[in-house]
Amino acid sequence: MNELTINNKELKRTDIEKIFKNDSSLSFNTVKGYAGQAISFFTWARAGGLPGIGAVNPALMAHYKQSLIDAGLKNTTINFKLKAVRAFYRQLFTAGKIDTNPTNGMAYEHEEPFTAQYKALSKKQVEILFRELSKDGTERGRQRYALIMLLTLTGVRASEACNLKFKDLIFEGNLTGLSYKDIQGRKLNAVGIRVERGKGGKSRTVEFKQVILDAIMNYRQAAPVDGESLFYTIPQNGTQSRHALNRFTLWYTVKAVCKDILAVNVHPHTFRHTQATISLELGAEVFSISQNLGHSSLDTTSRYLQRRGDILKYWTGLIPAAV
């Protein structure tokens, strides 16, 4: 992209990412995603004669929003693009780089609300998902099965799931740092996975089951890619290239799966609620759940207090057999 300026200083993508990183509530993947959307906005604005980042005003923002609507984008996509630009200017205003925030008062497009009834799935719904997804042996079917299992049994956030690498896996004996090729054909037992740069830039270790890795490896056997991310996109035609799954392709995958199989409207965060709710119902301690999910306070989870490291044993009756 062409360089952009603010206060006569040229900004590149790395500079834009640094600005987003000043917001500690943004995850690593969100920073990357927001930076890409901010660049798209600035490219659009520059094509219309914008002299610099500091020249943006509310009228231009309204024009940009209308251009997204006219392009026929979904409201969720429009809102993400707008949120990225708003987050960028919020950081500039906070840092004193601009006198006014041109995105103040900007309204988002209406998004279909998620039914409160399905804030968390039931044990029966989880069993149905696992059973039906396991029947599809295509690459797409294997991917969905492994992805839903990962989200359900670990409770990781969408951005965290997209950022996971094979090197993050922890095996018995505290064996770590293995690549995708290192793992192939070896008899290993996965017991945890390291979530790097989660929400707020924090890292944590999440409990993991070998059955999750078995499902992922089964999917990867059908996916012609040797990359180190766990999941990749599936091209719609031969002209598209594969790339690591991002939280938007993950969002649409989860939405499609649950609509097709359960006839319910959910999103990836539903599986965090599901993991916590069912774990509590099955007898796991709240302190364990809180640490596993990366909550900053026990108040976010509950008021019980005990040990950690005992979540997935309660799921024994619900976890499907290894594929």
pLDDT tens track for 62-97: 999 999 999 998 888 899 999 999 999 999 889 888
Residue of 172, 218, 209, 192 lying closest to 316 (CA atoms): 209
**Contacts for 92-97 with beta carbons within 8 Å, 24 or more apart?**
92/6, 92/19, 92/53, 94/22, 95/19, 95/22, 97/6, 97/7, 97/54
Record the pTM. Answer: 0.60
Residue of 305, 263, 309 lying closest to 286 (CA atoms): 305
**Contacts for 4-13 with beta carbons within 8 Å, 24 or more apart?**
4/42, 4/46, 4/52, 4/53, 5/51, 5/52, 5/53, 5/54, 6/52, 6/53, 6/54, 6/92, 6/97, 6/98, 7/54, 7/97, 8/52, 11/53, 13/39
| pLDDT at residue 197, rounded to an integer | 64
Query: Domain-by-domain residue ranges, the chain?
Result: 4-94, 116-315
Answer yes or no: are the C-beta atoms of 266 and 152 closer than 8 Å: no
Residues paired with residue 194 on neighbouring β-strands, in sequence order: 205
Residues paired with residue 205 on neighbouring β-strands, in sequence order: 194
| CATH code for the domain defined by 116-315 | 1.10.443.10
| CATH code for the domain defined by 4-94 | 1.10.150
| pLDDT at residue 321, rounded to an integer | 64
| pLDDT at residue 302, rounded to an integer | 44
Tell me whether strands 190-195 and 175-176 are parallel, antiparallel or unpaired. Answer: unpaired
| pLDDT at residue 229, rounded to an integer | 95
| pLDDT at residue 143, rounded to an integer | 96
Q: For the chain, which ranges sit under pLDDT 70?
A: 1-11, 51, 112-118, 197-201, 237-239, 284-319, 321-323
Answer yes or no: are the C-beta atoms of 245 and 162 closer than 8 Å: yes
Give the dihedral sign, CA 87/199/281/121.
positive
- In DSSP notation, 221-250 reads HHS----SBS-B---SSTTPPP-B--HHHH
Torsion on CA atoms 193, 197, 201, 203, rounded to nearest 10:
20
